[in-house]
Amino acid sequence: YPNPTFDSKFNIGLGQKYSHVFVSISNTLGQEVQAQDYYDCDSIEMKIKEIGFFLVTIAADDQIPVTFKLINK
* pLDDT (average), residues 45-54: 90
More confident residue, 47 or 21: 21
pTM metric for this prediction: 0.87
Render the burial of 20-55: b for 16+ CB within 10 Å, e for the rest. Answer: ebebbbbeeeeeeebeeebeeeeebebebeeeeebe
pLDDT band at 5 (very low <50, low <70, confident <90, very high): confident
Question: What pLDDT sits at residue 22?
Answer: 97
- Please say if the pLDDT value at position 48 is more than 80: yes
| pLDDT greater than 90 at residue 67 | yes
pLDDT at site 15: 92
